[in-house]
Amino acid sequence: MSKRASLLIKIGLLLTAAALCLAAYNLYEGVKAGNAAADAAAKIDAFIEESGEACVFDPDMEMPTVQLDGYEYIGILRIQALSLELPVMSEWSYSALKIAPCRYAGSAYSGDLVIAAHNYSSHFGRIKGLSSGDELSFTDANGNVFYYTVAEVETLSPFATEEMTSSGWDLTLFTCTVGGASRVTVRCEKVE
């Protein structure tokens, strides 16, 4: 075997090992994020239960928050078709997305809530499998529950920020595809 062929084989093995390490790390991060989200959701549910009745809200008011472990959460998103119960942080950041889904823009009160999450299977990695008519709910930190149904699932460019935030939908969920080439976007309508 020539030196060049031997070198190419070694490089191939090294790249394969690096890819396996990266895949293992991503799986680890997904499990860790799922555990953190489940813990936060349980604590938020306990807080809501202790605080009593839901309150009246105004479409222009700020969403109330629950402070947990140094982060502020606005409530819990439940996606029945995927058996997901996820806390939602009040503001997004790359570090926050490693823990839980985050409010990207809008409010449940004004009917334009946009929630982003990583594509971990324990977060939004499976939302592309949602279908029109699937039911979701969002419970705010005061215990108000908002019900939604999926209207459509679409794929957008990762640079389609304007389409994401000014879409006219009551609730939008999104996550990046593997590799980040596009965004899986779920558009939802509020059920009265």
Highest average pLDDT, of 26-35, 64-73, 152-161, comes from: 64-73
Cβ atoms 190, 111 nearer than 8 A: yes
Task: Provide the pLDDT for residue 147.
Answer: 97
The answer to whether 22 touches 111, Cβ cutoff 8 Å, is no
Q: In this prediction, what percent of the chain has a pLDDT beyond 70?
A: 98
For range 41-67, the mean pLDDT: 79
* Pairing of β 171-176 and β 113-116: parallel
- Cβ–Cβ under 8 Å, residues 185 and 174: yes
- Residue among 149, 148, 72, 57 nearest 109 (CA): 57
Q: Which two tokens stand for residue 131?
A: 């279908």
The burial of 96, by beta-carbon neighbours within 10 Å (0-12 exposed, 13-18 middle, 19 or more buried), is given as middle
pLDDT for 10 = 80
Mean pLDDT calculated for residue range 66-92: 94
87 pLDDT higher than 70: yes
136-175: pLDDT as tens digits: 999 999 899 999 999 999 988 888 778 877 778 999 999 9
Output the pTM of the full model: 0.84
Confidence tier at 115 by pLDDT (50, 70, 90): very high
Residue 2 has pLDDT above 80, yes or no: yes
Looking at residue 159, what is its pLDDT?
81
